[in-house]
Every structure is written in C-alpha cells, then in structure tokens.
Amino acid sequence: MSQLAARAPVPERRAEPASRSLWQTTLRRLLRKPAVVLSVLYIFGLVLMAIFADRLAPYGYEVQNLRASRLNPGAPGHLFGTDELGRDILSRVIYGTRISMSVAFGMAGIQVSVGVILGVLAGYFGGWFDLIMMRVTDIAFAFPDLLLAILIMGIRGPGISNIFLALGVVAWPGTCRLVRGQVLAVKELEYVQAARAVGQNDFRIMLRHLLPNVISPVIISATLGIAGWVIAEATLSFLGIGVRPPYPSWGNMIANLRNLIFGQPGLLVAPSAVLALTVMAFNFLGDGLRDALDPWLKQ
C-alpha cells in the first residue's frame, strides 16, 4: 500500500489567475467614471476632426464671400454663421482643431521626453549635472510660463514652428524636477542596490527599475498640462503672435470676432465653446488618471 501510495499521481494544482496589471486596473477604474469616458470620446472626436478636416469642413478655411459676411448662426449653408470676411465659422473651427491638437500632443511629448530624460539623469548621477539642471529649472521657474513664451514669440515672430519653440522651452522644467525628486527617493531602495550589486549597468537600472516607478506621476502631470498648452496657444494667437493668418486658430478666431460681441454674440459661441470643452475634457481625463493611479485610493 505504501508503494502504491508513493506511485499515485499527485493532483496538479490549478494555476492561480494572474493579477491585473497596473494599466488594466487603471483602465477599469477610468471606465467607471462617465465624465472621463465622455472626455475620451470627445478628445478622440477632435483628433479625427483634425485628421479629416479637409473632408469634414463644408468650405475651405480661407474661402471668402463678402456678400454673406456676418451671418448669424443658423443661416442657410452656415451652421455657426460667418465672420466679417464671409468665411464659414464652422469650417474654420474644424481646421483650427489641427493647431490645437498638434500643440496639445506635441507639447505633451516634449514635456515627457525631455523632462523624463533630464530628470532621470540628474537624479541618478547627481553631481555637477544635477546642479546645472536644477539651476536651469530655477531660472525657468523665475519667469511665468506664458510671459516667457510671449517674450520668445515677440523675438522670433508668429508661426506654428515658433509656437512649438516658445512653449517647448517652458514645457520640460516642471517634469524634470518632478522626475528628479522621484528618482532620488527610489534609487536608494533595496532592489535598486541589489541590481547594482549583481552588475547591472546604469542604463539598464534607469530603464528597468527607475523609469517604471516614476512614469505614473509624469503621465498625470502631462495629461493635466495639456489643457494649459491649449490655452497657451489660444492666448498667443489671440494676441496676434501665434498662428499666422489666414490659417485659423480658436484664439485668433475669438480675437477677430470679439468686436461683434455686443451686436452678434452668437458668432463667438462656436470657437469659445469648443475651446472651453476641450480644456474641460483634458482636465477631467487628467483628474481621472490621477484618481486611478493613486495607490492611496485603491480599495
């Protein structure tokens, strides 16, 4: 009996289900929030609008019809009316989406890429590189972001490339300092010391052990910051130092129509509403990501 018991097959243990990854849990929590879901759908619609603006816009953004100028919203053939030059406001709002989405995601890319790289290097290596980076960020923080961008635009002149240059200069210092602080807190932990002890090189340690621990606050910061970049681009265009006419931006459209605010305020509704909804959507998305990625809010 003992031999039979010894030879009896041992029942296999059923594999335990794999735990959900961080991003699966984050997505599940985001889908529970109706405001976040609506914001994502709205932003996705803006991206599609920017890509297919040529097909969606009923008119070209530069097409003028002086006989049909200053038409109120709801006029035949012009859902949102026309401006003082007879240009269709709906078409210009659609084309203006290209500028806003390009600046929004372009600045987020610059903020994340430059800020993360410099922040990880400064926090990990320290020394003179860390000292230089922190003094550069101190200088950048000494000037309000928008005023510094206006100064750069005043020197360089209007244009979309100069907008990216001006906003890119002020985009990365905050992320750099945020990542540096996270790296300083993580690099002395036991598993990083163990990775160093087994002979892993600095690049592998930064890529596999430090970066995954700092990416969550960076994503939250970048998402919340997108709304600020949209407002910054609209402000520069409103002041006349942003996008070059006749290409439309929501900011320069509001600037051109502001003289009609008392006589025909309905013409200002479309660009102003789209700008406000876009800022709200990115803010809701950023707040939702912050709540979903915050470990203290896990139930």
- Domains of the chain (ranges; CATH) run 98-244+276-294 (1.10.3720.10)
> Which residue type occupies 141?
F
208 vs 22: CA distance, rounded Å: 16
Banded model confidence at residue 281, pLDDT cuts 50, 70, 90? very high
pLDDT at residue 12 tops 50: no
Cis ω on the peptide bond leading into residue 76 (within 30° of 0)?
no
pLDDT at residue 130 tops 60: yes
pLDDT at residue 16 tops 60: no
pLDDT at residue 262 tops 80: yes
For 228-293, the DSSP string reads HHHHHHHHHHHTTSSSPTTS--HHHHHHHHGGGTTT-GGGGHHHHHHHHHHHHHHHHHHHHHHHHH
pLDDT at residue 2 tops 50: no
Inter-axis angle of helices 89-125 and 160-171, to 10 degrees? 30
Banded model confidence at residue 20, pLDDT cuts 50, 70, 90? low
Tell me the pTM. 0.84
Inter-axis angle of helices 269-293 and 89-125, to 10 degrees? 30
For 49-100, the pLDDT digits (tens) are 999 999 999 999 998 988 888 999 988 889 999 998 899 999 999 999 999 9
Average pLDDT for the chain? 85
For 132-146, the pLDDT digits (tens) are 999 999 888 888 888
- The pLDDT, as a whole number, for residue 295 is 55
User: Between 1 and 22, where is the model more confident?
Assistant: 22
Run of H or E residues at 55 = helix 53-56
- The pLDDT, as a whole number, for residue 297 is 44
For 193-239, the pLDDT digits (tens) are 887 788 778 888 888 888 888 888 888 888 889 999 999 999 999 99
pLDDT at residue 158 tops 50: yes
